[in-house]
Structure 1
Amino acid sequence: MERRLAAILATDVVGYSRLMGADETGTLAALKAQRTELIDPKVAQYNGRIIKLMGDGALMEFPSVVDAVIFATEMQLEMQQRNASLAEDRQIHYRIGINIGDVIVEDDDIFGDGVNIAARLEGLAEPGGICIGRNVRNQIRDKVDLNLEELGEVEVKNIARPIRAFRVLLDEKASALSTPVVAVPSLRPRKMKPKVLMILGMLMALLGTVAWWHFANPSRTDNANGVVQHSPTEATSIAVLAFKNLSGEADQAYLSDAIAEDITTELSRFGNLFVISRESAFSYRDQTKTARQIGQELGVRYLLEGSVQLSGSHMRVTVQLIDTREQNHVWAEKYDREVTDILVVQDDIVRSVVTALGEKIWHEAAESLQSKPLESFEAYDFSLRGSEALHKLTKDSNQEARRLYKKALELDPGLPDAHLGLAWTYYLDYDAQWSDTGTEALDQAYRYAQIANDEGAPGYEIHRLFGQISAARGDHEKALQHIARAIELNPNDGDLLATRAMLLRDDGQLEEAHKWIEDAIRRNPHHPDWYGSVLSAIHYMEKDYEGAVSILNRAKSLAIWDHLILAASHARLGEVKKAQQHASEVLTINPGFSIARITPRIEYRRHEDRQHYLEGLRKAGLPE
């Protein structure tokens, strides 16, 4: 293991998701131009190297801290000039943090506290600004003529001691350091070491063989919706069962559910893991089936089960990983922590599970997980209760969820989950027609989603919601771009796959929509009812009205959009009485419903699809 002292620079784009949501094509083009015309040439000029690009950010290393600071100063001044001629909503701003520290070098990457502190300093910088640590200030004090503003001792998360930080003032002294940008050839990607290439080649060949065998020799079963399923690759499949609540209080069950659900989400990030969705895994709660039986029914090799016991501010989480074929315990662990460390415990569990499954590449990815301790467990508690209410998908539960999310934000204004949940309440108000609201609800949803993104909510969740908002606004191309990006970030999430099916349906790509909803159902056989809503609407658009009715007849509960499809389908089948019954349910849910009012809300892009839907509603007798 190689260690060395390095000058580390961390940077990111401020409000990246907002920019992408407003103009994805233009933003990507602008970022590419800045990279080729400014950043790459300046990095080369000051002998630095870009270690890795991370979506909206980058990590760089410089042999000299003086060079790192001058690079950052010149880059930010040049960006000021570029932004000066642009409208405010099109301006791109970077934050930069610089630190000197001991780093661990592995292949062409670097790790360690030196890197973490640089990232924390970047978070302290203003948009368009530079923040440096005391050790950097000490090194450049007599070498670079810059004015600095001391920010004092700053407490930052996951760093044991306060950091003394300074802001670089971009004034006349800074401007005097500027030099012309000299074009250089594009920086070439770093070459992997031969050994790494060989290992990756062998791994990919193995995965390719497994994938070929899997698809060439499918094991077929039919699920409740009549959709053919294929068994996943057994060795890399897992389900996280509902954790038991041992707290002695029935109303604490939501906490154990939330921990299990978040672990499911984190495991889903690993693209080569087949992870059963929450609804399917949780359906085995309180059942007495053996691990082997559950594994066979879900088609997974491993189960993760556990328990949560809460006592005051103390929490004990016990987990165990079970091999369903051998029916033995692969790994078990007990965590005794304060409640504010819930997210850290989740990361420990994910890291241990991935390591137990044996792939070095996953282990390395798990090592990068760096969740933050919670500022306020009470705020997190309100946010969890809000999510529990939100998932019930009723008018009253949506209002209760909004109340709980707002309470959480009163206690912790920076809680990303609460901002994101609040955004969903406004979107659902518009989509489900629970209140007499117009596009202002979409604006509210978008605003809260932007805040959630800025506060660190998972990118795939942000892109999913942006996709649905874009579709509601009629921008189907942008909607599909957002959901594609969400799935890139979290390829195992059944909800994302089902959402893509819905957006493809709205875009008129019915064959593709069928494929995606089938894959979503395969990954989540005990899926929520809205998967069936998506599939039934696809059948309706294909003029398979009996298929649409059959799917919704198996749903546990029906939303307004389900009653609309059922009313139109029964009307098309000539079943007038049934059509009128569902039309009556629509008017019970939304007494102000009319075809004139719903027409602007219809998300189908093609004119023929819109007319096909509206004609079915008219046949059902719904008011004009």
Structure 2
Amino acid sequence: MSSEHVERRLAAILAADVAGSCRLIGIDEEGTLARLKALRRTLFDPKIAEHHGRVVKNTGDGAIAEFASVVDAVRCAAEIQRGMAEQNINLPQDKRIELRIGIHIGDIIIEENDIFGDGVNIAVRLEGIAEPGGISISDDARRQIRGKVDITFEDLGSQSLKNIAEPMRVWRVPNGRAMPAVPHRLPVGDVLTLPEKPSIAVLPFINMSGDPEQEYFADGMVDDIITALSPFKALFVIARNSSFTYKGRAVDVKQIGRELGVRYVLEGSVRKSANRVRITGQLVDTTTGAHLWAERFDGGLSDVFDLQDRVTESVVGAIAPAVEKAEIERAKRKPTESLDAYALYLRGLAKVYQFGNRQTNEEALRLFYRAIDLDPDFASAYGRAANCYVRAKINSWISDEANETAEVKRLAQRAVELGKDDAIALATSGHAFVYVVRDLEAGAALIDRALVLNSNLAEAWAWGGWVKNWLGEPEAAIERFARAMRLSPLDPWVTRMRGGTAYAHFFLGRYDEAVSWAAMALQDSPDYQPGLRIAAVSNAMAGRPEQAHNAVARLRQLNPALRISNLQDVLPPIRRAEDLSRYEEALRRAGLPE
């Protein structure tokens, strides 16, 4: 036995290799080698250093790197894959350089400037079973990072790795999953860039009434304050769906500022007792935690809209003194003269925001109809009612197609007649015209009008993104979905924004990007049918038949009647015949019957 001392230590090892490097070099040897060298210099090596690692050796078309922390190694791998994907966006599939990455934490042997041992060997074998653009990690590494990185790993179970004695449990991040454009929660230290203009999030107000049934009223106050602030073009206002993710949680305002990318937060409470209402509010600077103002607003129930106006004026006066007075006056618009109709409308919104099933959708519709019965001139109630039918259409819940289409057209037209300056009424009506009435141009024009009136309306940007897809303008669609996700970075409906982005990439012929976005869309809503359809077609066109067939199999479980021949029942009109033809052909390849 040798008495020579062997230096060992525990380390996280990252092994990376170019997928299909021989094919790439065969096509263009000099060009590929030059691109590999540039990627090392501009992306790979800087990211390793940024995350406190060191490149131990380069292996021609790959590299081995060592980290003291497996958390650093995994975050580094995710950022490298994100950077690779961004560089590949405009390249054809056969010209793309894609990395496989494997990570393990284990014992290594140090000899001069090199490292050896099972820790290194296992990382290399994990890299070998990763898919192009993906990451594979050992179970040992997974235990060390649990709860510390904002990446979802899939369990591959026990795997036999080449030249490794015992099978190992392996976890993976498929191509695209390591790089969500807008994560549900940002890792500590990640900060969204503050907009150039004053930015604000209005948090859910606390219901101080002692009656849980009044929760909808407190939420409605916040909805209306957000609605009143949103039309101010001098402000950047976070959408309701993101600010309400903090409901019932005690979170430091500085953290909220980081996660939503805003400078200011408005928080407060509502107390409704008999015919009196008290609203308290305080405006906080998220960068310093300083309170800019705190105020109490009291009045009769009949004065509730005036109280909301006063809260809005106080906020605007504190953070955007340059806002034109005309905009403030325009924002003072009572949605209805009937407080009973208003209460029913708020209860309907509460059902809508449950993001629930067929039953909650039908309950919301009934409440909006009751609000309309009490106030036949309530524009937003007509628009929201029409949008309930859109939800039913998308989920195949409509039973009487002809009559329900006629009713949607009536509701949407009435909303437009009554709400010429009401962005919500216009946007919801436009959405209904596209999906149910099937009038693409009319719907697009209404959504565009809504965005002119209120450039902070995230749902209008998202619906507008879908419309741009169907109009054959996918590049514009991507921009609109990105705007929607920035305005509402924690939105429970981000699934639909990601799904729409996947469709845009599909229509642009960027099938790998479409696969990645479809996977992100399905991550939290695995039965989202438009997401399953885009997963099927994009995987089929990207040469991944197994994944395409799996998506179609799940689609047919959810909607057994779905066929190529009746696709029009679940799709709005698609302007470009070539887009529809390619979509249908991809579904055929994925296994959807005629």
What TM-score, normalized to structure 1?
0.59
**Aligned counterparts of 2:550 and 2:573: Cα–Cα separation in 1:** 25
CA contact (8 A) 2:197 2:234 kept: no
Answering whether residue 571 of structure 2 is matched by residue 606 of structure 1, we say no
Answering whether residue 228 of structure 2 is matched by residue 266 of structure 1, we say yes
* 2:292 aligns with one of 307, 330, 347: 330
Q: How does 1:214-229 map to 2 (within 5 A)?
A: 223-224=182-183
Distance 1:223-1:483 versus aligned 2 partners, 3 A rule: same
Distance 1:341-1:564 versus aligned 2 partners, 3 A rule: farther
What letter corresponds to residue 568 of structure 2 in structure 1?
T
Deviates more, 1:564-573 or 1:252-261: 564-573
Question: What SS does the corresponding residue of 1:320 show, helix, strand or coil?
Answer: strand
* 2:536 aligns with one of 538, 559, 567: 567
How far did 1:575 drift?
5.1
What letter corresponds to residue 288 of structure 2 in structure 1?
E
What letter corresponds to residue 320 of structure 1 in structure 2?
Q
Answering whether residue 586 of structure 2 is matched by residue 616 of structure 1, we say yes
Answering whether residue 475 of structure 2 is matched by residue 511 of structure 1, we say yes
What letter corresponds to residue 484 of structure 1 in structure 2?
D
Question: What SS does the corresponding residue of 1:403 show, helix, strand or coil?
Answer: helix
**Aligned counterparts of 2:414 and 2:505: Cα–Cα separation in 1:** 37
* 2:390 aligns with one of 423, 427, 445: 427
Aligned to 1:406: 369
Output one character per residue of 1:149-184: Cα deviation in whole Å (capped at 9) or x when no partner: xxxxxxxxxxxxxxxxxxxxxxxxxxxxxxxxxxxx
* 2:241 aligns with one of 265, 279, 283: 279
Aligned to 1:37: none
What letter corresponds to residue 469 of structure 2 in structure 1?
R
Aligned to 1:534: 500
Aligned to 1:597: 566
**Aligned counterparts of 2:273 and 2:185: Cα–Cα separation in 1:** 46
Distance 1:461-1:538 versus aligned 2 partners, 3 A rule: same
Q: How does 1:262-411 map to 2 (within 5 A)?
A: 262-372=224-334, 375-391=337-353, 392=355, 394-411=357-374
* 2:198 aligns with one of 227, 230, 236: 236
Q: How does 1:454-533 map to 2 (within 5 A)?
A: 454-456=417-419, 458-472=421-435, 475-527=439-491, 528=493, 529-533=495-499
Structure 1 unmatched ranges of 5 or more = 1-220
**Aligned counterparts of 1:410 and 1:570: Cα–Cα separation in 2:** 48
Deviates more, 1:241-250 or 1:332-341: 332-341
Distance 1:235-1:460 versus aligned 2 partners, 3 A rule: closer
**Aligned counterparts of 1:598 and 1:309: Cα–Cα separation in 2:** 50
CA contact (8 A) 1:254 1:385 kept: yes
CA contact (8 A) 1:342 1:373 kept: no
How far did 1:574 drift?
5.5
CA contact (8 A) 1:234 1:300 kept: no
**Aligned counterparts of 2:563 and 2:362: Cα–Cα separation in 1:** 24
Deviates more, 1:388-397 or 1:346-355: 388-397
How far did 1:617 drift?
2.2
CA contact (8 A) 2:382 2:425 kept: no
How far did 1:609 drift?
1.1
Aligned to 2:511: 543
Output one character per residue of 1:27-75: Cα deviation in whole Å (capped at 9) or x when no partner: xxxxxxxxxxxxxxxxxxxxxxxxxxxxxxxxxxxxxxxxxxxxxxxxx
Distance 1:371-1:488 versus aligned 2 partners, 3 A rule: closer
**Aligned counterparts of 2:386 and 2:522: Cα–Cα separation in 1:** 31
**Aligned counterparts of 1:580 and 1:524: Cα–Cα separation in 2:** 33
Question: What SS does the corresponding residue of 1:330 show, helix, strand or coil?
Answer: strand
What TM-score, normalized to structure 2?
0.62
**Aligned counterparts of 1:357 and 1:306: Cα–Cα separation in 2:** 17
Structure 2 unmatched ranges of 5 or more = 1-179
Distance 1:535-1:400 versus aligned 2 partners, 3 A rule: same
**Aligned counterparts of 1:380 and 1:333: Cα–Cα separation in 2:** 25
Q: How does 1:204-223 map to 2 (within 5 A)?
A: 223=182
How far did 1:460 drift?
1.9
Distance 1:455-1:602 versus aligned 2 partners, 3 A rule: closer
What letter corresponds to residue 446 of structure 1 in structure 2?
K
Question: What SS does the corresponding residue of 2:333 show, helix, strand or coil?
Answer: coil
**Aligned counterparts of 2:337 and 2:330: Cα–Cα separation in 1:** 21
Percent of aligned pairs sharing the same letter? 32
**Aligned counterparts of 1:377 and 1:274: Cα–Cα separation in 2:** 29
Deviates more, 1:581-590 or 1:237-246: 581-590
**Aligned counterparts of 2:410 and 2:342: Cα–Cα separation in 1:** 21
Distance 1:300-1:269 versus aligned 2 partners, 3 A rule: same
Question: What SS does the corresponding residue of 2:399 show, helix, strand or coil?
Answer: coil
**Aligned counterparts of 1:475 and 1:415: Cα–Cα separation in 2:** 24
What letter corresponds to residue 421 of structure 1 in structure 2?
R
Distance 1:553-1:361 versus aligned 2 partners, 3 A rule: closer
